[in-house]
């Protein structure tokens, strides 16, 4: 038992995946904390290590991947201990993943898949679990739950299926919900409904929420705190308000700049030039250097560390932006 | 479901009739039964007489039409060798074959599924590599050879089992195992690879994340998914055992079933008896196919759904 005052505390986490062409450093020294009732957004592009971070927090890094360093603590107990992780997974920490249609077995009924989690973790029989599953479906907005429990995932629409997955994730009254791109596979109107559902459940149940996404619009409405992940490192963190209006890291600013907006007339979509770095090669300097419009020689030779600045925010940059009004979407736009 | 079954049954009847026609034509092309049945010094008159008795002097199309018409009434004519209804001979020899096939198939499927699941849980591990090697031997070595080696080793050498014939359970062990060995191999390989696929699906990963136990994931989630592929192969294997393996193994072990009977009938140019064996095997084969299709709908709800819509 290591002392930790937080619900979830990740310290200097390093996750590596050895491949034939070298070792991929997917997560490089990430630290973060989540407390009860927090809503934390983790934002980054594909390959930034955000999903790996989420899976690591559930003790689900699969071979050949491994945790090369750092610590993950859940209420002071190490989730690197597989036995601890097994007990906590689904019981105290739940996860909702990207593609609801792929998230459940196509050949088992919804009822079977909802109740199997409950009968394992809660001290209840299968009949009681079915009743509870029906109540949960009702709670997430699925009509006629009795009939629905006997159906298979392919008999649901994407949005409905994601509601089922969310209901299942909440079935054992967890303290924390990790949602890894929960809306990416859904169409836009459904996205808004699902986000609304997650947000309201989070507030009603007092859940800690970790929302992982590449879409700043998604976290804008749902999260109070944000962390921006780039190449396996946190490059900036702060409140949603701070990051949206006054980004200090050029990458955060670039992400905001590439989010399409309805209220600004633009002829073409803005993209961030270049590609994310190859995580098999360790860079000496800041990993955003090749794509950064503000890069100097110092950026290429020395890696900036995450420095706390004003009220609760931090960034890792040698040449931070001066906190001018950011070009991003206004706070709250993510909600429809 | 009822309409589907009716459709499948009528298709099955067509398949059996087609098989009968093919066998009828082929058996009349490969040899002259009259020449085999008569002694060497028989005269032309003797030949003509016997041909007339057997109805072989009629036009071939007439023979075929009569033959099919009789066959649908399960009358396949008298065995030339045993001089009694061929169907009686086959039905008499059927139970030993069914017993042997059931034993060999059950052994093959059970051991195959166990090996496949265990191997598929940790592909590349030492258990997996040892199992795959063992299983490939069973698939690759010809059955008649394994059969003979087993007789030399277990019957002649160790004296554990009788060399051939039938009787108590001890007579069943060697032919059953030999019949089942290639089944073990193919079932294990298919089960193994579909277990590997199933265990790598997103829904299995997400089930782990939801907190479903490893045991339940393997035994329920993955095995039910892998079962679909296994059932398909098991159906084919049962057909292979019945229509192929049984002939070889029964012959090696002088097991008094329809396979051994078919071999004897072929040696004696008893085309009527050969046809009767083929007829019965064909009916069993199409029945197995229908059962496999019904098993799908029970394992995979999507199949049922597709059929309705």
Peptide bond into A300 cis (omega under 30): no
Best to test chain A binding among B123, B200, B209 (most A CBs inside 10 Å): B209
CA–CA separation, A293 vs A257, rounded Å?
A: 13
Pick B246 or B305 by higher pLDDT. Answer: B246
Task: Report the pLDDT value the prediction gives residue B105, as an integer from 0 to 100.
Answer: 92
More confident residue, A277 or B94: B94
Residue B124 pLDDT > 90, yes or no?
Answer: no
Mean pLDDT taken over chain B: 83
- pLDDT, tens digit (0-9, with 9 covering 90-100), for B272-282: 888 888 888 88
Contact with chain B for residue A169, Cβ under 8 A: yes
Q: What local confidence, expressed as pLDDT, does residue A2 receive?
A: 61
Q: What is the dihedral of CA A227, A231, A233, A234, to 10 degrees?
A: -20
| Contact yes or no for A30/A13 (Cβ under 8 A) | yes
Q: On the CB side of A185, how many CA atoms lie within 13 Å of its CA? A: 18
Q: Where are the domains of chain B?
A: 2-71, 94-267
Average pLDDT over residues B101-128: 91
pLDDT attached to residue B110 = 94
DSSP B125-154: SHHHHHHHHHHHHHHHS-HHHHHHHHIIII
Q: What angle do CA B38, B40, B45 make, to 5 degrees?
A: 60
Given pLDDT bands bounded at 50, 70 and 90, which one contains residue A335? very low
Model confidence pLDDT, tens digit, residues A61-103: 877 888 888 888 888 888 888 888 888 888 889 999 888 888 8
Which one-letter DSSP state was computed for residue B85?
A: B
Whole-structure pTM over 0.90, yes or no? Answer: no
CATH superfamily of B94-267: MetI-like (1.10.3720.10)
Is pLDDT of B259 > 80? yes
Find the mean pLDDT for residues B254-278: 84
- Asked if residue A266 has pLDDT above 70, the reply is no
**What is residue B31's predicted lDDT score, i.e. its pLDDT?**
65
The better pLDDT of the pair B250, A330 is held by B250
Mean pLDDT for chain A?
82
Kindly identify which residue of chain A lies nearest to residue B228, measuring between CA atoms.
A107
Q: How confident is the model at residue A265 (pLDDT cuts 50, 70, 90)?
A: low
Better-predicted residue by pLDDT, B287 or A290: B287
Give the single-character DSSP code of A45.
Answer: -
**In this predicted structure, which of A80-94, A196-210, B147-161 has the lowest mean pLDDT?**
B147-161
**Other beta carbons within 10 Å of B196:** 19
pLDDT at A334: 36
Q: What pLDDT is attached to residue A1?
A: 58
Residue B14 or residue B165, greater confidence: B14
Domain ranges of chain A: 246-324
Q: B interface toward A at CB cutoff 8 Å?
A: 201-213, 216, 220-221, 224-225, 228, 299-302, 305
Does A99 lie at the interface with B, CB-CB under 8 angstroms? yes
- B101 token code pair: 């096939």
DSSP-derived secondary structure letter, A235: E
pLDDT of residue A14: 86
Which residues of A fall within a CB distance of 8 Å from B296?
none
How many Å apart are CA A42 and CA A178, to the nearest integer? 10
Question: What is the average pLDDT across B80-96?
Answer: 84
Model confidence at A3, in pLDDT bands (50, 70, 90)?
A: low
Average pLDDT of the residues in A325-334: 41
Mean pLDDT of all residues in A2-23: 83
Give residue A264's Cα distance to chain centre: 28
pLDDT score at A205: 87
pLDDT in tens, A136-152: 888 888 888 888 998 99
Measured CA to CA, the distance from residue A62 to residue B244 in angstroms comes to 44
The pairs formed by B144-151 with CB atoms below 8 angstroms and a separation of 24 or more are B144/B248, B144/B251, B144/B252, B146/B178, B146/B181, B147/B174, B147/B175, B147/B178, B147/B248, B147/B249, B147/B252, B147/B253, B148/B252, B150/B174, B150/B177, B150/B178, B151/B252, B151/B253
pLDDT at residue A329, as a whole number? 42
Q: Partners of A178 in the beta sheet?
A: A95, A210
CA nearest to A148, candidates A118, A198, A111: A111
For residue A239, which of A219, A259, A217 has the smallest C-alpha distance? Answer: A219
User: Which among A60, A89, A106 has CB closest to B302?
Assistant: A106
Check whether B70 has a pLDDT greater than 70: yes
pLDDT band at B304 (very low <50, low <70, confident <90, very high): low
Please report the pLDDT score of residue A310 as a whole number. 74
Closest CA–CA distance from residue A312 to any residue of chain B (Å): 31
Residues of B in contact with A60 (CB under 8 A): 205, 208-209
Q: For residue B45, is pLDDT > 60? A: yes
Does position A281 have pLDDT exceeding 90, yes or no? no
Three-state DSSP at B155 gives helix
Q: Write the ipTM.
A: 0.81
- The verdict on A173 touching B (C-beta cutoff 8 Å) is no
Q: Is the pLDDT at A331 greater than 60, yes or no? A: no
CB within 8 Å: A95 and B209: yes
Residue B191 and residue A190: Cα distance in Å, rounded?
39
- Percent above pLDDT 90 for chain A: 2
* A225: phi then psi, degrees, rounded to nearest 5: -115, 145
Tell me which DSSP letter residue B42 carries: -
Above pLDDT 90, what percent of chain B?
11
Sign of CA dihedral B136, B142, B148, B151: positive
Range list of β-strands (E), chain A: 8-19, 22-34, 39-43, 66-74, 77-78, 93-96, 176-180, 208-213, 225-230, 233-239, 307-308, 314-315
Predicted pLDDT of residue B188: 93
- pLDDT higher than 50, residue A325: no
Average pLDDT over residues B21-33: 76
Q: How much is the pLDDT for A16?
A: 86
Inform me whether the C-beta atom of residue A168 falls under 8 Å from chain B C-beta atoms: yes
In angstroms, the separation between the Cα of residue B77 and the nearest Cα of chain A is 49
Which residue in B206, B224, B300 is closest to A97 by CB distance?
A: B206
Instruction: Give B78's contacts (C-beta < 8 A, 6+ positions apart).
Output: B84, B85, B86, B272
Kindly report the nearest CA distance between residue B309 and chain A, in angstroms: 12
Distance CA A9, CA A205 (A): 21
* C-beta of residue A162 within 8 angstroms of C-beta of residue A95: no
Q: What's the pLDDT at B184?
A: 92
Do B210 and A60 lie within an 8 Å CB cutoff? no
Q: Find the closest chain A residue to B223 by CA distance.
A: A107
Are A89 and B220 an interchain contact pair (Cβ–Cβ within 8 Å)? no
pLDDT of residue A12: 87
Q: What is the pLDDT of residues A288-311, one digit of tens each?
A: 877 877 777 777 777 787 878 777
pLDDT bracket for residue B54 (50, 70, 90): confident
Interval A213-259: pLDDT, tens: 888 878 887 888 888 888 888 888 888 888 888 888 888 888 887 77
Q: Do B301 and A107 touch (CB under 8 A)?
A: yes
Q: Please indicate whether, in this complex, the C-beta atoms of B211 and A107 are within 8 angstroms of each other.
A: no
pLDDT confidence band for A191 (50 / 70 / 90)? confident
């Amino acid at each position: 038992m290591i002392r930790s005052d937080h619900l979830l505390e990740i310290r200097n986490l390093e996750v590596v995946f050895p491949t034939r062409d070298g070792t991929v450093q997917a997560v490089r020294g990430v630290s973060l904390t989540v407390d009860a009732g927090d809503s934390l957004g983790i934002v980054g592009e594909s390959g930034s290590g955000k999903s790996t971070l989420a899976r690591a927090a559930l003790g689900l890094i699969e071979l050949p991947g491994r945790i090369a360093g750092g610590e993950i603590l859940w209420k002071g107990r190490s989730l690197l201990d597989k036995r601890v992780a097994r007990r906590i997974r689904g019981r105290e920490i739940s996860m909702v993943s990207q593609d609801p249609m792929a998230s459940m077995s196509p050949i088992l009924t919804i009822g079977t898949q909802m109740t199997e989690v409950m009968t394992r973790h809660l001290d209840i029989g299968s009949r009681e679990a079915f009743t509870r599953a029906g109540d949960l479906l009702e709670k997430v907005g699925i009509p006629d739950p009795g009939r629905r429990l006997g159906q298979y995932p392919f008999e649901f629409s994407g949005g409905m299926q994601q509601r089922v997955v969310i209901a299942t994730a909440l079935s054992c009254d967890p303290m924390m919900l990790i949602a890894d791109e929960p809306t990416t596979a859904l169409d836009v109107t459904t996205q808004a409904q699902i986000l609304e559902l997650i947000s309201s459940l989070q507030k009603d149940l007092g859940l800690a929420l970790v929302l992982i996404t590449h879409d700043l619009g998604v976290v804008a409405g749902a999260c109070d705190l944000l962390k921006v992940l780039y190449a396996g490192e946190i490059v900036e963190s702060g409140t949603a308000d701070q990051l949206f209006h006054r980004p200090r890291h050029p990458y955060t600013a670039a992400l905001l700049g590439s989010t399409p907006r309805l209220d600004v007339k633009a002829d073409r979509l803005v993209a961030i030039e270049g590609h994310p770095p190859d995580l098999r090669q360790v860079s000496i300097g800041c990993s955003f250097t090749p794509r950064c419009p503000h890069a100097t020689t110092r950026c290429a030779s020395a890696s900036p560390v995450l420095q706390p600045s004003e009220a609760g925010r931090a960034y890792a940059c040698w040449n931070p932006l001066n906190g001018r009004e950011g070009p991003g979407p206004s706070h709250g736009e993510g909600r429809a | 479901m009822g309409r589907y079954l009716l459709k499948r049954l009528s298709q099955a009847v067509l398949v059996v009739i087609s098989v009968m026609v093919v066998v009828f034509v082929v058996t009349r092309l490969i040899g002259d039964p009259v020449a085999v049945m008569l002694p060497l010094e028989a005269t032309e008159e003797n030949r003509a007489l016997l041909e007339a008795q057997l109805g072989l002097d009629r036009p071939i199309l007439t023979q075929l039409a009569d033959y099919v018409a009789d066959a649908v009434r399960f009358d396949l004519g008298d065995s030339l060798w045993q001089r009694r209804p061929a169907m009686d001979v086959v039905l008499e020899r059927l139970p030993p074959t069914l017993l042997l096939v059931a034993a060999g198939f059950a052994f093959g499927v059970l051991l195959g599924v166990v090996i496949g699941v265990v191997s598929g849980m940790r592909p590349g591990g030492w258990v997996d590599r040892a199992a795959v090697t063992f299983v490939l031997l069973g698939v690759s070595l010809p059955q008649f050879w394994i059969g003979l080696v087993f007789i030399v080793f277990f019957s002649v050498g160790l004296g554990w089992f009788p060399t051939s014939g039938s009787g108590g359970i001890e007579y069943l062990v060697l032919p059953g195992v030999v019949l089942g060995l290639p089944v073990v191999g193919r079932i294990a390989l298919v089960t193994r690879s579909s277990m590997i696929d199933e265990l790598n699906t997103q829904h299995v990963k997400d089930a782990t994340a939801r907190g479903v136990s490893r045991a339940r994931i393997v035994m329920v989630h993955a095995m039910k998914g892998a079962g679909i592929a296994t059932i398909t192969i098991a159906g084919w294997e049962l057909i292979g055992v019945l229509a192929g393996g049984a002939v070889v193994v029964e012959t090696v072990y002088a097991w008094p079933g329809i396979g051994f009977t078919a071999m004897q009938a072929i040696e004696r140019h008893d085309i009527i008896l050969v046809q009767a064996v083929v007829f019965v095997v064909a009916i069993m084969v199409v029945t197995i196919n229908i059962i496999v299709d019904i098993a799908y709908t029970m394992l995979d709800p999507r199949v049922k759904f597709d059929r309705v819509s």
